[in-house]
Amino acid sequence: MSEPVLALRDVVVRAGGRTILDATALAIAPGEVVALLGANGAGKSTLLHVAALLRRPERGVVAIGGQEATARNAAMLRRSLSVVFQAPLLFDVSVLDNAAAGLRFQGLSRSEAQRRAQFWLQRFGVDHLARRRSRTLSGGEASRVALARAFATDPAILLLDEPFAALDAPTRAELLPALRERLRQSGAAALLVTHDLDEAFAFGDEIALMQSGRALARGAGAALLARPPNREAAELIGIETILAAQIEARDAGRLLLRALPDGPCLRAEVPPGTAPRTGEVVTVTLPAAASRLLRRGEPAPVGWNRLDGRVGAATPLPAGTRLTIETPAPIVALAPWHPVAEVWVTGEEAAVTFPPAAAHVIPAER
């Protein structure tokens, strides 16, 4: 395996008597694109500042390209990374001079720096603005210039601190794939800090989850959704149905569980590498998109769980309607959007059905 382009080991950061990063470890391989997802205040931005060598941790090691950062070599190591902050932070000079700034600092001649900057402005579709003053740009244009500036120095890794947070949804929807494509072409690795679940899924080959200064889990978005390693990770990845359940019986690879305190009963698969025992209390997670909704009397597919109840809260979403089905334990499901409106009325009888594989069992920590 090649040397990680960025590695953090046991990094601890304290501020105002509080620990805001705690023994955080993170490694990013060359060309790897990782989204760092966490709530506000989880320590994501601090981690990014530490990774960018803009903040020295109280403890721990940061290595860029396999080289351990020190106060002496920080300036030199910073040359192999680029940082894009939440605001574009353009300087009050021309767009071209902004995009060329990093190259100029590295000692390139003005003409060579501008030539390379122009190339990246063109790649982000803003080369026609090169002569404009940066403060006359729209938010989307400024973000593109900031990205061009970050790519212009040919970094091994881009560190992105919620670069799209201030943009409107259409601009974001345009820029995110553009950024992914440029990353793919350039072969640069990237770490994107975000609190937006959709953005994390759309951007990262992998998603790293973070809470209260600690790294919780890391993996492909779909894998985290299917098998979150712990309750906190399940919540962060957007799973709303998280039940405490007791193992009633176990046969072959299947578990029979009873949601606490009083049902319903459901079947789940034994998670690989675990040996849950009968009587043990575990956590069961079920992503909303894994369930299907059934009308009263409608049969469930053979071998699937079926939990009957009534329609509770209904929230319209662009992709459909988010429904809570009040079985003895509330189950959140998604009724996908359909051209012929499927109306689910609060209070009506309904059932949710899902295959045993969709319910993920997290054994209690021992």
Q: Is the link from the previous residue into 264 a cis peptide, with omega within 30 of 0?
A: yes
CB-wise, 55 or 231, nearer to another protein?
55
Token pair of 279 as six digits: 């009587």
Q: How far is the CB of 102 from another protein (least distance, A)?
A: 4
Binding site for another protein (CB under 8 A): 49, 52, 54, 75, 78-79, 81-83, 85, 87, 89, 91-93, 101-102, 105-106, 133, 149, 153
Query: In terms of CB distance, is 24 or 134 closer to another protein?
Result: 134
Nearer to another protein, 80 or 246 (CB): 80
Task: Give the angle 139-140-141 at the CA atoms, nearest 5°.
Answer: 95
- CB 147 → another protein: shortest distance, Å? 13
Smallest separation, CB 52 to another protein (Å): 6
CA 313 to chain centre: 27
3-state class (DSSP) for residue 47: helix
Nearer to another protein, 82 or 194 (CB): 82
Question: Do residues 74 and 151 lie in contact, with contact meaning Cβ atoms separated by under 8 Å?
Answer: no
Residue closer to another protein (CB basis): 117 or 208: 117
Shortest distance (Å) from residue 12 CB to another protein:
21
Kindly state the smallest distance separating residue 47's Cβ from another protein, in Å: 14
CB of 79 to another protein, least distance (A): 5
Q: Which of 309, 351, 302, 350 is nearest to 326 (CA)?
A: 309
Write down the number of H helices and E strands in the chain: 9, 20
3-state secondary structure 100-146: HHHHHHCCCCHHHHHHHHHHHHHHCCCHHHCCCEHHHCCHHHHHHHH
Give the DSSP letter of residue 337.
Answer: -
Rounded to whole angstroms, the Cα distance separating 105 from 113 reads 10
Q: How far is CA 40 from the centre of its chain?
A: 13
Q: How near is the Cβ of 342 to another protein at its closest, in Å?
A: 48
CB of 178 to another protein, least distance (A): 21
List, as one string, the DSSP characters of 177-221.
HHHHHHHHHHT-EEEEEES-HHHHHHH-SEEEEEETTEEEEEE-H
With CA atoms as reference, report the closest residue to 206 among 237, 230, 176. Answer: 237
Q: Which among 224, 307, 305 has a CA at the least distance from the CA of 269?
A: 305
| Amino acid at residue number 158 | L
- Looking at beta carbons only, is 159 or 207 nearer to another protein? 159
Residue number, 145 or 325, with CB nearest to another protein: 145
Which of residues 36 and 233 has its CB atom nearest to another protein in the complex? Answer: 36
Instruction: Work out how close the CB of 146 gets to another protein at its nearest, in angstroms, rounded to a whole number.
Output: 9
Closest to another protein by CB, 100 or 207: 100
The three-state secondary structure class of 265 is strand
